[in-house]
Structure 1
Amino acid sequence: MKFNLKNKTAIVTGAGSGIGKAIATTLGSHNAHVHIFELNEELATNTAQEIERFGGKATAHLCDVTNQKEVLELLESISKTSTIDILINNAGIAHIGSLEKTSVEDLDRVYAVNIKGVYNCMYAAIPFMKKSGGVILNMTSIASSVGIADRFAYSMSKGAALTMTYSVAKDYLEYGIRCNCISPARIHTPFVDGFIKNNYPGEEAEMFDKLSKTQPIGRMGKPQEVADLALYLCSDEASFITGTEFPIDGGFIKLNN
C-alpha cells in the first residue's frame, strides 16, 4: 500500500472543517493516528468520529494554537505515548482589506493565528522530531508569493509561513526533519460559501461563478485535492522532498496574465 502511514502519529490543526478536515480524514484513512487540534470542540469531535467510523484512530483536542503554553502541554502529553511524526499547520484566519483598511487589531489577530500559531506548533514539535525525524507541512497560500488585492494582512501572514518553512527545512536537515508547504488558490470550503452569503446576498450563484473563474482552470479546488497532496508530502514516498512550496492553484500563479 503506497502512502501508508501505519504507526505514524499526525497532528492537524484547524481540522474541524474544510481543508483541515479533509487532510485529517485522509491521513486517518491511511492508518495514521490523527490528533485534531481545534478551537471548536464539537467540530473536532465530529472529525474524530468520522475517522473512527471507517476504522481509523483519532483523538480530538480543544486547543488554541495562539497559546504557547497550551500547545506545549498538549505535545508533551502526546509524546508520552507515541512519537510525533507529522505536524500539519492548517489553522488560519482570513482578513479582507488593503493596508489602509487593516487596523492594528486586525493585524494582531491575523498574526496571532497565522504566524504565531505556526511558530508555536513547530516550536513544540521540533524537540520531539529531532529524536526520530518527522514531517512538517505548513498551509500557506498563493497570496504568499503573488499580489492579491485587498489581502494585506493575510498575504503578510502567509508570506511569513512560507519563509518559516524554508528556514526550518534548512536548519533541521541533519535531524531527518522535512518541512514543506502547500499554497492553495481558492478552494471551495464552508468559509467561501459563508463569505459569499454574507457579502453578496441574492447574488450567490453569480459570485460563486465569478470567483470560480479567477482560476484559469475554470473552477475552485476541492479540499480533497489538497488533502491528497498533503498525504503524499507526509508519506515516505516524498522522502526526497524538503524546503519546497507546492502551489495547488488551477494555474493561477503561472497562467493568470
Structure 2
Amino acid sequence: MIVGTRGSNLATVQTKYIISELSKITDEEVEISIVKSTGDKITDTQLYNMDPKGIFTRELDLAVLDNEVDFAVHSMKDVPSELDPDLEIVAVPIRESPHDVLISKLGWNELPPGSKMGTSSLRREAFCNHHQKNFKLEPLRGNIETRIKKVMMGECDATLMAEAGLIRLGLTEYIKERFPLNYITPPAGQGALAIITRKDSELKTQLNELNHFTSFQEILAEKTVLKELGIGCQWPLGAIARSKNGKLNLYCVLLDKQGHVLSDVTITDSINNAEELGKKAANHMEDYI
C-alpha cells in the first residue's frame, strides 16, 4: 500500500499518524511517496494571487488517479470544493483544533500600530483590518518552522497560524495567544485531514474505518458553503461548524479586504443535515459574492 503526501514536516507527521491508525486495522505495510505540489514550488507570491484550486493537492490527486499511489492525505482546508469525479474523500479522522493562533513575542493587544504582520492569507489580513489593528501586512510564505523562525528572528513582529499544525508538530510553546472562533473565524476544514482515494479503490472499506462521523459532518457543512458559493481562498470567508448534543451549529462570516463584514450567518440543525445546513448558509450569503 502506498500513500502520497507533500514533503513538509507537517504533511509527513500527518501521514505517519494515518499510517499508525491504519496499523490498528490492517497488517499491510504502508509506504510513503513524497509528491511536490504547485504551492510548494511557488514561494514568491501571495497564495490568493495564484489559481487557488488544488494548489496544494492537484499533483497528489493526479498521482492517485494514475495509480502511482493508493491514497493521499491532505490538510482538509487545502482540498478544493470540486474533486475529480473519479476521486472520493473516504475518511475524515477526528479533527484537531480549528482555531487560529498568534505567533509573536508580544500579545495581540500589545502589538503597536505599524507592527509587521506576516501572512499570505487574505482572510487573516481581512480580520486584522476588521479588528482595526493597523498592522503593516507583509507576505510570509514557507513551512511552519520557517515562519516561526522569521518571527523569532525579528523579520516580522507576528504571524497568524492554524493551531492544529503546531499541536501536531509539538510546537505549541510558540503560541502567544489563541483566538475565539468568532473573533478570527477559520477557513472551512481547518484542523481536519482528508483521506482521498479512487472511487473504484479496493481500499475504500479499510480507509473508511478511519472516519470520525462528527468531524466529517462538521467539514461537510463548512465545505458545502464554499462549493455552493463557488469560491476559495481568494475571498475572506470564515466558516466553522461545531457539534453538540446531536446538533450542528454553523457560523460563517464574509468580509471584504478592508475588514468590513459583508454578511454573516449562524444556523443550527441536526448533525445529519450537514450538507443542507451548508446550502442554507450559502444561500444567505450568495448576494454578496
- TM-score strictly above 0.5: no
Higher-Rg member (1/2): 2
Higher RCO, Cα 8 Å, sep 6+? 2
Q: TM-score when scaled to structure 1?
A: 0.30
Q: TM-score when scaled to structure 2?
A: 0.27
